[in-house]
Amino acid sequence: MTGAGCVSLTSMFASVIDAYLVGPVRVACSLFVGSTSSLTMSFDRGGHTLHISAKLFAENRARLVAALKKQAPPNSVIVLAGGVEHMRYNTDMDDLPFRQESYFFWAFGAHESDSYGAIDVDTGRSILFPPTLAPDFEIWEGKIQPESWFLKKYEVDEVHFRKANTIRDTVTKLGGKNVFLLKAFNEDSKNWLEAPSLPELNHFNIDTKLLYPIFAEARVFKSDAEIEVLRYAAKIATDAHKEVMRRVQPKMYEYQMESLFRHISYFTGGCRHLAYTCIAPTGANAAILHYGGASAPNTKQINDGDICMFDMGPEYNCYASDVSCSFPSNGKFTKKQKTIYNAVLRASQAVFKAAKPGIRWTEMHILAEKVILTDLKAAGIVVGDVDEAVEAGLGGVFMPHGLGHFFGLDVHDVGGYLGDALPRSKRPGLKSLRTTRTLAERMTITIEPGCYFVDTLLDRALIDEKLKKFLNNDILREYRGFGGIRIEDDVVIWAKGNENMSHALPRTVEEIEKFMAKARAQQ
């Protein structure tokens, strides 16, 4: 790092902290002020953050019970296992604080590791089973709370510290004969969340098949209370992205922008966790779709004129945001950058307008491809008939990822291939869609079209008989090393018109340039 870079980083954080100690904490979060009491609510991080009532999770349980009752026999009980905190090898701590398993959290809102929960399907009665802790826990980890503390905090019907056969005895007392355990499939990773191993329940009728599709489908459609939390997470993501846009300067480093985003999300929004690893590429790195991981850990120095393509989102109380912004590091778009940016923006706007209940998401992906390829044709990069190019799979060369995905308690939320979902396509681009369902009200989904110049994909296309006839290599050559543009918003589908929860971001070329020019004038 150059000396100038060190000074820039130090002064940047000093000014950010100074600014956020006075006004913008109140400004950024004034709509979300809540209680600071830790015993009359499920969650908040102080009066400047969103207060979340335990009633959110009671409503979730009621929705799950109502759906399950249609298929479950009488005397049925759901038993759910929470996540277990794992320590990194050769240390007594992990490098990130514990984050609860999402299905369990959806139903109970409890953050404690190694907890279980039960729900009586006949009555809706809820029971939480926190772990029984050794007395020395208080020395190293904190106060051991009584059962009454959990009862009041999470507003369940019963709380019992888990000991040998506690869950069995409770299910028996409820009159349970059938026990539903969750064995859940992840469509993206093709991995299973295995059902908990509880020998104490072996004498009940165990079912691991019925619960998953009903539970996942319930998570697809968000309640008013859930949407309020998602709005807050998106608001904090928006604030953090805008601060990055204000502070970015050539000669800084990508990881400094990641660090600033993390700081603003936590310092002003109380978001201890991010929803995913920050994707913070600049310049040619912006053509790497999941940049930021171990192979490319946001380490490049930012050059004057680089496109910054930042895909970053915090989560609040386990509810995720997922927002992407693209802008020039020096605040001024070049002609080529403007051309590609406007193509992606037009695709985003077209999808937002067309995505309505009853429209299949696959159609929206194809719409985005057509808009982007139409603009690339106007720029001379693409030639020939756009519809034929789309049919041939050219869209997947410039936008190899899917248009968007459900989000909620997971950034790539569950249920994408339930309901009326079509099987995955084999066509480039379309095959990466994380859902092919028909849209419906209360679905929360990202709209994230992109246009990238990936050498590997371009080289393949130029020797592909079906694709090369649609490409003008003389013009295309000028865009090699461009990187890419992605614009991503968090959207709620409504019949009356969709809601863009990240609407406060500057999005047009003119808005971005004006926003960044004003920020630089004030520094």
Angstrom CA distances, 91 to 94, 95, 422, stand at 7, 10, 46
Confidence (pLDDT) at 41:
58
- DSSP state letters, 272-326: -EESS--B--BGGGGGSTTTTSTTS-S-PBPPTTPEEEEEE-EEETTEE--EEEE
CA gap 288, 309 in Å, rounded = 10
Show the tokens assigned to 313: 């989102």
Handedness of CA 255, 259, 261, 262 (dihedral sign): positive
Residue 373 and residue 394 in contact, taking contact as beta carbons nearer than 8 Å: yes
Show the tokens assigned to 385: 């008939």
* Model confidence, pTM: 0.93
Confidence (pLDDT) at 24:
34
For residue 491, which phi and psi values (nearest 5 degrees)? -125, 140
Confidence (pLDDT) at 3:
38
Average pLDDT, the chain: 92
pLDDT at 89 over 50: yes
Confidence (pLDDT) at 94:
77
Handedness of CA 429, 486, 362, 404 (dihedral sign): positive
What domains does the chain contain, in order, with CATH numbers? 55-220 (3.40.350.10), 224-522 (3.90.230.10)
Torsion of CA 290, 296, 299, 305, to 10 degrees: -50
Give the mean pLDDT of 423-429: 94
Tokens 């945001």 appear where?
A: 321
Closest C-alpha to 290, from 395, 397, 400: 400
Show the tokens assigned to 156: 């369940």
Confidence (pLDDT) at 38:
45
In the chain, the percentage of residues whose pLDDT exceeds 90 is 88
The model's pLDDT over 185-244, given as tens digits with 9 standing for 90+, comes to: 888 778 899 999 999 999 999 999 999 999 999 999 999 999 999 999 999 999 999 999
Confidence (pLDDT) at 95:
78
Confidence (pLDDT) at 40:
52
Confidence (pLDDT) at 128:
98
Show the tokens assigned to 126: 């809820």
Confidence (pLDDT) at 21:
37
Q: At what angle do helices 509-522 and 224-247 cross, to 10 degrees?
A: 60
SS (H, E, C) 351-378: HHHHCCCCCEHHHHHHHHHHHHHHHHHH
Q: Look at residue 232 and give its three-state secondary structure.
A: helix
In the chain, the percentage of residues whose pLDDT exceeds 70 is 92
Give the mean pLDDT of 435-459: 98
Give the mean pLDDT of 344-358: 98
Q: Look at residue 107 and give its three-state secondary structure.
A: helix
pLDDT band at 425; cut points 50, 70, 90:
very high
CA gap 517, 136 in Å, rounded = 56
The model's pLDDT over 475-491, given as tens digits with 9 standing for 90+, comes to: 999 999 999 999 999 99
Share of the chain residues as helix, strand and coil, in percent rounded to the nearest 5? 40, 15, 45
pLDDT at 28 over 80: no
The model's pLDDT over 153-173, given as tens digits with 9 standing for 90+, comes to: 999 999 999 999 999 999 999
Handedness of CA 294, 281, 252, 270 (dihedral sign): negative
Show the tokens assigned to 245: 């846009």
pLDDT at 111 over 50: yes
Show the tokens assigned to 175: 């009159």
Confidence (pLDDT) at 87:
84
Give the mean pLDDT of 402-422: 97
Burial 203-232 (b: 16+ CB within 10 A, else e): ebeebeebbbbbbbebbbbbbebbbbbbbb
The model's pLDDT over 38-63, given as tens digits with 9 standing for 90+, comes to: 445 579 999 999 999 999 999 999 99
Show the tokens assigned to 158: 């019963």
Confidence (pLDDT) at 147:
97
The model's pLDDT over 236-272, given as tens digits with 9 standing for 90+, comes to: 999 999 999 999 999 999 999 999 999 999 999 999 9
The model's pLDDT over 492-512, given as tens digits with 9 standing for 90+, comes to: 999 999 999 999 999 999 999
Handedness of CA 210, 216, 222, 223 (dihedral sign): positive
